[in-house]
Chain A
């Protein structure tokens, strides 16, 4: 089964970069790696996704290991609004596996 493993929680100081890791050692060759985040009392929000190459958008960067067994979400300058649970998601056969996510605390 394609599963993801993430640290339960992480802390970051405001305005510093944050690297959120995700292990997905059983990923198949055609599965995209997705990252979403969920703020309290809201539905998940798309952050970024990629297949093999590193990806950048206005919210974050996604660094994918060459063997694709791990990836890292990079928030370049954490703000208080980035405090959320971050999920690394894979397709597992015909369904999507969210995992338990990483709760990010941003310290002012």
Chain B
């Protein structure tokens, strides 16, 4: 069974630009969660989607948004990029809502904002 895949793996953008990251969950998984990992803040929860609906949301500004498609694939968008958005963005999938289920993480997308 293929694992969680994320594209692209590396990305370099400049301040003010926007970026879209993609996540393909494990087949049959309906929940996709997104996390931001930085050396200073550690792993922080962004949001969780289940059956195309955002079910949970972390404390991030509205510049961070996401969506989930009918095939459970998910995209995350960051608009008006800031230097502080440089981070590893991780996506995780689970069969049901992540609170009571095992999550499987992808390798992440390394975003660098110059």
**Residues on A close to B: CB < 8 A?**
31-32, 34, 36, 42-46, 49, 51, 87, 91, 94-101
Q: Which of B1-56 contact A (CB under 8 A)?
A: 4, 33, 35, 42-45, 55-56
Ranked nearest first, the 5 interchain pairs of A and B with the lowest CB-CB distance are A43-B105, A98-B43, A94-B56, A95-B58, A96-B45
In whole angstroms, what is the CA distance A97 to B57 when docked? 12
20 contacts between A and B (CB under 8 A): A34-B103, A43-B4, A43-B90, A43-B92, A43-B107, A44-B43, A44-B92, A44-B103, A45-B105, A46-B104, A49-B100, A94-B55, A94-B57, A95-B57, A96-B33, A96-B99, A98-B43, A98-B44, A98-B45, A99-B42
Render B63-106 as a binary contact track against A, CB cut-off 8 A, 1 for contact: 00000000000000000000000000010100000111011111
Query: How many residues of chain B get a CB closer than 8 Å to chain A's CBs?
Result: 24
In whole angstroms, what is the CA distance A100 to B90 when docked? 16
A34 proximity list for chain B (CB < 8 A): 103
Supplied contacts A94-B57, A95-B56, 5 more A-B pairs, CB within 8 Å: A31-B99, A95-B57, A96-B56, A98-B35, A99-B42
B43, A87: Cβ atoms under 8 Å? yes
Closest to B90 in A: A43
In whole angstroms, what is the CA distance A87 to B45 when docked? 13
A51 proximity list for chain B (CB < 8 A): 100
Output the least CB separation between B56 and chain A (Å).
4
B104 proximity list for chain A (CB < 8 A): 46
Output the least CB separation between B62 and chain A (Å).
16
In whole angstroms, what is the CA distance A98 to B44 when docked? 7
In whole angstroms, what is the CA distance A9 to B42 when docked? 15
Output the least CB separation between A19 and chain B (Å).
22
A98, B42: Cβ atoms under 8 Å? yes
Output the least CB separation between B10 and chain A (Å).
13
Output the least CB separation between B80 and chain A (Å).
23
In whole angstroms, what is the CA distance A32 to B96 when docked? 14
In whole angstroms, what is the CA distance A36 to B56 when docked? 20
